[in-house]
Amino acid sequence: MERYDLLIKNGTLVLEDCCRQADLGIRDGRIAKIGCGPSDQAERVMDATGIHVFPGAIDTHCHTMDPGSLSFREDWASVSRAAASGGFTCLIDMPNIDPPIVNLETLEFKKETAGNTSVVDFAFWGAGILRAASHVGELRRAGCAAFKAFTSDAGPSYPSLGNQEIVDMMEVVREAGGIMAFHAEDLEIVTELTRRAVEAGRSWNLRLHEQVRPYYAELQAIQSILLFAAHTGCPVHICHLSIPEGAQAVREARERGVDVTVESCAHYFLFNYEDQYNLGPFAKIMPPLRSRERSDRLWDYLKCGAIDYLGTDHGPYPEHEKMPADHNYWNSPGGAPSIDAAWPSMLDEAIHRRGMKPWEIARVTSLNAARRFGLYPQKGSIREGADADLALVNLDETWTYSAEHSLCKTKCPRYAYEGRSIQAKVTATLVRGTPVWENGQIRAESGYGRFVPSKTAGGEGK
């Protein structure tokens, strides 16, 4: 007879390549046994009858807005609680905050801020901007998962990189043993098309937003990144892919030996500029929502494994920022909240309507990210010895998303997920064996979350 801290009984475990009906024993925050015996006991028993036990989701692309002057939009206390309610157990946070993560001082500041209030575990991206170049090595050794750059405008505090600057940064990151990641949209194309539209007096709308940031601007940037990656030998990552043409380019580059992975986001599979047109600036994101046809084709690349993982690109803005007083929506910021709705929405769509198996969607929401960013085998999988990061989901229970009940700071009801019916309910989220979200309530104390340093980023990627 074995004794555990927690025994999850009668659940369907979502493993790396199958589902298995088995009991799960947890001891000291780790998975101690898969397939416990009938006489095994525990301090607490959770009955998971009718429940799928997934590895906790890992968000590869989160914007907490904290620390800094923008934390009125979101902070670690709110985002981590909302994340837990949506099945996430680890957030890899983006570096383009104020100040950006450009050296050890800014990394430690961010770690301290998150560590004081987060209820889920966390990792960090380093800044892939020129003033961070001399600090890439120390940031990598300190556990930064990868280094994020923009090929398009990201504001004065986070300058985009030109072509030769990309090559230069790739060489620095490669020498440090890291991964270089990109927001991939061609700056010249986007700037010129936007200038033409504004000078012609055209009012912003969601369709026009896609026209001034067209598919070929994203594809051109991706193709350049792949060329430079092949030249430098630097592992690269494409953030928030929105076009099937980009997924095909990545697949072909892999066949040529380029070390590249690609992330997309739930909104590119669930929404499009046609169906969400009337949301106006509340559906304004970068890269933009594409057509129904492109969105549907993107599913083919997710299902065949050409897209490696799903991030949220969670970027909440209160209503007054999205709706400027002069109604000039060219000036509205791009971004939308999604961290408590994206994962269950994708489980619903992928499993119930797109024919994916639970373990197939778990690969792109947990396993692949943990492998690529140096968190595996501690994170990303239900396996003996791993952290007991779990999300218990009732795939038969339907609920309706409402921003009013969100744990995010931004509770604006005008975004795309509002009123969405979702057949996948997260009933509990466990981080290192401790329920942090259960029965509609946060159970963990502020500061329970821990920093998870990336160990061998890229070492187990595709």
- Can you give the CATH number for the domain in which 195 is found? 3.20.20.140
Paired tokens of 398: 């339907």
The CATH number assigned to the domain holding 417 equals: 2.30.40.10
The average pLDDT across 357-378 equals 97
448 inside domain: no
Taking each helix axis as running N to C, give the angle between helix 215-232 and helix 187-199, from 0 to 180 degrees, rounded to the nearest 10: 160
Is 460 a residue whose pLDDT tops 70?
A: no
Is 458 a residue whose pLDDT tops 60?
A: no
451 inside domain: no
Same domain, 31 and 96: no
Same domain, 17 and 79: no
378 inside domain: no
162 inside domain: yes
Q: Percent of the chain having pLDDT more than 90?
A: 94
Same domain, 271 and 326: yes
In total, how many domains does the chain have? 2
455 pLDDT band, cuts 50/70/90, is confident
452 inside domain: no
Same domain, 86 and 172: yes
Q: What is the pTM of this model?
A: 0.96
Q: Facing residues of 435 across strands?
A: 430
In degrees, to the nearest 5, what angle opens at C-alpha 383 toward C-alphas 379 and 389?
40
Same domain, 65 and 17: no
Paired tokens of 231: 């030249």
What range defines the domain where residue 8 resides?
A: 3-53+386-442
Q: Name which residue leads in pLDDT, 23 or 99.
A: 23
Domain boundary among the residues 322, 341, 372 is at: 372
> How far, in Å, CA of 34 to CA of 385, rounded?
10
409 inside domain: yes
Q: Minimum mean pLDDT among 341-350, 419-428, 451-460: which range?
A: 451-460
Same domain, 75 and 132: yes
Same domain, 346 and 410: no
Same domain, 314 and 211: yes
pLDDT of residue 203: 97
In the predicted model, what is the mean pLDDT of the chain?
96
Paired tokens of 363: 């690969």
